[in-house]
Chains A and B, each alone.
Chain A
Amino acid sequence: MTCCSPVLELAQNEERVKAVDLRGEELKHAGRLGVDGTVTYVFSVPAIHCGACIAAIEDALRPLPGVVSARVNLTLRRLTVILAPENAPSGTTPLRLVETLERLGYPATPVDLGDLDQLARERESGKLLLALGIAGFAAANVMLLSVSVWSGADEATRDLFHLISALIAVPAVAFSGQVFFRSAFVALRAGRLNMDVPISLALLLSLGLSLYESLSGGAEAYFDAAVTLTFFLLVGRYLDQLMRERARSAVLGIARLAAKGATRIVAGEMVLVPIDEVRPGMLLRVPAGERMPVDARVLSGASDLDRSLVTGESEPVPAGPGLRVEAGVLNLTGPLDVEALSGAKDSFLAEMTAMMEAAEQGRGAYVRIADRMARLYAPAVHLLAAAAFLGWLVATDGDWYQAVTVAIAVLIVTCPCALGLAVPVVHVVGASRLFQAGILMKDGSALERLAEIDTVLFDKTGTLTTGTPRLARTDILSIEESAAARALAARSHHPASRAIRAGLEAVAEPDLEAVREVAGSGVEAMIAGRRARLGRPGWVAEIAAPDRLGHDGGGGNGIEEERAGGEKGSVAFAFEGAPITTFSLDEVVRQGAAPALAALRPAGLSVELLSGDGEAPVRRLAGMLGIEDAAFRQSPADKIARIRTLQAEGHVVLMVGDGLNDAPSLAAGNVSMAPASACDAGRLAADFVFTRESLEAVPFAFDIARRAKSLVRSNFALAILYNAIAVPLAMAGLVTPLVAAIAMSASSIVVVANSLRLTQRGRATKAKARDFRRRETVPASGAEPARRAERLEIPA
């Protein structure tokens, strides 16, 4: 329900039951009522990745009562479910769907159908595909007629064929060429030149000349050139558009994980209100496991707060009445009643958004490679055509017709068919390679910018580490104690308890009685008549046997030492009157972090760590991963300042981060990446989002970007080579419609073939990619038992 919040297990205490109820309510609002009473839900399910997933999901959902249809869209990682009318007996609720999916291992979130509609309305690719279909039809038929003319049709037959061609080509270009005409018109009105200006000019002039030729019984018509040109260029446009839309809709899917509502207390009753309707002064209840919807002050209740997403600090802080809390902070252990201090529009989140927008403006200066080429290319083409026109006018003593024909031939052969395809085809191939590796790309210019980087800045919490603690060491204990600690840990959703539960071996658990969770302290219960506590060492020590304290390293003093050494914290357990035992926790380094950094350094990139966390944990992690430049206690403004300094020194910066505090710096970096677990703002600000656990996505994307760049360059070289041959021929008046048609098609095919080399990999990269994919399948390290974790630990 909220992004990054721990996945809620089935309700285990009263508070959680309430939260789940509200969640069900919230889910119900995501559906759309059809005319026949059925309700349609669309879920974003990022974990879908192959055909087996389709079968698993559809087979699990279809037998549920009330499910009319369930269909997976593998391309968009989405699931559409139609439910029977709500009042039907034994109907399935959307909550049950989500729970079923979670059990199968496919966490799902509903997609806002309003956003989906908006996306569909803004969708350009459908229109482009239509234009492409018409241009393709026209190109094939006109070519058919043109081939007959080239192979010897003459006199009346030729004129007839020309006229039929005109009837097909003129409407086809008028419809399909609109994309280019419109863009050229906009550019001209702004006093600029872009690639579409020479394209439009060539299309219109060649059609005009050909019409004149056909009506006056002339021999040479360029109808085929005009339509094939439109067709090839539209292919480039369509691919470009398709890639952008795919990425946008995928990002939209995961961007919707945020809480859209808040629980308001009105006269003792709890009501779910949309987040936009929260006003300062409202009384809100924030259950454990939920995020603060707005900035607020705690009125009553006690709990621990996870502020890592907001400040980057990984250690939970205790919360009590009077504390001011920022929007986005995760409430961990107990329900809190809070008073809203701001509306959604002017909360801490909104402040961050404003900072992000300001930071983004600095990035607007980047000009895409294709546009840079167009700036050189368009004037050159126009000058050449004008020169050809004037030259022939002088040489033939004022033969207008001849001069115009040659000028048009120059425009047609130089027409940036190959150039128009050079960039988008490479980017589309690159995007699909990245998509296969679970990396979403917002648009092609991100790939261009990624290839330029020389510095990588990493955030710590949530990026280099997974943000959830792991059990590193424990001096436990007998099986009895271990089982009791594990059972107690199950009763709390403090991250530390989860880590302990995951870290201890699963054994038969004793029955607990009188379970009590003391927020900010821990969990207490009676086990077979003995009191047992799991929680803060000081609180546990109250009931433990005192003689053991201070005697050995496992006692209270040892804990303090460990914390100074940069441990994430420690938890103690004891039976009443029995010796105390401790668990030390540690942050889990994100999977693939070490190999990722090892791969980035030889590529000539300098790596820095920027964290909002305290000195000790940052130093420890930097030491483990061998990062020399590590800055700690960085505020969002500090991070931006660091990026600006680097940029002023001429560096091109890749920012990798996830937290709300990173969002402005993600926008400020020349290019940015975020894990899918990042907060909404972070994901929206990032150019790349990697949906798999491993950090190796970073060097992988960089590798693809670099190879894409070299392919784009070789494509440009090929296009220029082609022009170097074709332009002199055209200016000499040697290019007939037949030659133009062959030359254009050949150059386009060469460029596309060259671009497809991105899918082929060298042997070394191939092995790396396979390795990368295989490692993806290893389960998340959080579930590994503690003993194994210990072995993986690298001394600080």
Chain B
Amino acid sequence: MTALVFLVPIALFLGLLGLGAFFWALKSGQYEDVDGAAWRALQDEEGARIKEAKD
């Protein structure tokens, strides 16, 4: 049962880590444009697009 002494804190720490990651995502505006983000993932890099347009 001594294993609990570190297992429970580890479990809680991992949970907090997840919560922290969620808060970070929330704060940095990752939920502002969910639809747009889905499309942007499919697009070429901006530089490449502009170059292509010039060619």
Q: Which residues of A line the B interface, CB within 8 A?
A: 50-51, 54-55, 58-59, 62-63, 72-76, 126, 129-130, 133-134, 136-137, 140-141, 144-145, 157, 160, 164, 168
List residues of chain B with CB within 8 A of the CB of A144.
Answer: 11
Interface contact B35-A74, CB-CB below 8 Å: yes
Taking residues whose C-beta sits less than 8 angstroms from the other chain, chain B's interface range is: 20 to 34
Assuming the A-B contacts A51-B39, A63-B50, are A137 and B33 also in contact, with contact meaning beta carbons closer than 8 angstroms in the complex? no
Assuming the A-B contacts A51-B42, A133-B19, A137-B18, are A75 and B33 also in contact, with contact meaning beta carbons closer than 8 angstroms in the complex? yes
List residues of chain B with CB within 8 A of the CB of A140.
Answer: 15
Chain B 27-46, CB-CB to A under 8 Å as 1, else 0, gives: 00001111110111011001
Interface contact A75-B43, CB-CB below 8 Å: no
Interface contact A137-B26, CB-CB below 8 Å: no
Interface contact A54-B36, CB-CB below 8 Å: yes
Most-contacted residue by chain A among B26, B32, B33 (CB, 10 A) = B33
Cα distance A126–B22 in the bound complex, in angstroms:
12
Cα distance A72–B4 in the bound complex, in angstroms:
50
List residues of chain A with CB within 8 A of the CB of B19.
Answer: 133-134, 136-137
State how many angstroms separate the Cβ of B50 from the closest Cβ of chain A.
7
Assuming the A-B contacts A54-B39, A54-B40, are A133 and B34 also in contact, with contact meaning beta carbons closer than 8 angstroms in the complex? no
Interface contact B26-A59, CB-CB below 8 Å: no
Q: For residue A137, which residue of chain B has the nearest CB?
A: B19
Q: For residue B37, which residue of chain A has the nearest CB?
A: A74
Cα distance A144–B9 in the bound complex, in angstroms:
12
Within 8 A of A (CB), among B1-34: 1, 4, 8, 11-12, 15-16, 18-19, 22-23, 26, 31-34
Interface contact B39-A75, CB-CB below 8 Å: no
List residues of chain B with CB within 8 A of the CB of A54.
Answer: 36, 39-40, 43
Cα distance A722–B49 in the bound complex, in angstroms:
55
List residues of chain A with CB within 8 A of the CB of B42.
Answer: 51
Interface contact B39-A50, CB-CB below 8 Å: yes
Interface contact B33-A129, CB-CB below 8 Å: no
List, sorted by A's number, 29 A–B pairs whose CB atoms are closer than 8 Å: A51-B39, A51-B43, A54-B36, A54-B39, A58-B46, A59-B53, A62-B46, A72-B36, A73-B33, A73-B36, A74-B33, A74-B36, A75-B35, A126-B26, A133-B19, A133-B22, A133-B23, A134-B19, A137-B15, A137-B16, A137-B18, A137-B19, A141-B11, A141-B15, A144-B11, A145-B8, A157-B1, A157-B4, A164-B12
The 5 closest A-B pairs by CB, nearest first: A51-B39, A74-B36, A137-B19, A73-B33, A74-B35
List residues of chain B with CB within 8 A of the CB of A129.
Answer: 26, 31
List residues of chain A with CB within 8 A of the CB of B40.
Answer: 51, 54
Cα distance A55–B41 in the bound complex, in angstroms:
12
Interface contact A59-B35, CB-CB below 8 Å: no
List residues of chain B with CB within 8 A of the CB of A75.
Answer: 32-36
Excluding A58-B46, A74-B36, A130-B26, 16 further A-B contacts by CB distance (< 8 Å) are A51-B40, A55-B43, A59-B46, A63-B50, A72-B36, A73-B32, A74-B35, A129-B26, A133-B26, A137-B16, A137-B19, A141-B11, A141-B12, A160-B4, A164-B8, A168-B12
List residues of chain B with CB within 8 A of the CB of A76.
Answer: 33
List residues of chain A with CB within 8 A of the CB of B22.
Answer: 133
Cα distance A76–B33 in the bound complex, in angstroms:
7
List residues of chain B with CB within 8 A of the CB of A133.
Answer: 19, 22-23, 26
List residues of chain B with CB within 8 A of the CB of A145.
Answer: 8
Cα distance A145–B36 in the bound complex, in angstroms:
39
Q: For residue B34, which residue of chain A has the nearest CB?
A: A75
List residues of chain A with CB within 8 A of the CB of B23.
Answer: 130, 133
Cα distance A62–B53 in the bound complex, in angstroms:
14
State how many angstroms separate the Cβ of B22 from the closest Cβ of chain A.
5
Q: For residue B1, which residue of chain A has the nearest CB?
A: A157
Interface contact A59-B15, CB-CB below 8 Å: no
Q: For residue A160, which residue of chain B has the nearest CB?
A: B4
List residues of chain A with CB within 8 A of the CB of B1.
Answer: 157
Q: For residue B9, which residue of chain A has the nearest CB?
A: A164
List residues of chain A with CB within 8 A of the CB of B35.
Answer: 74-75
Cα distance A73–B34 in the bound complex, in angstroms:
9
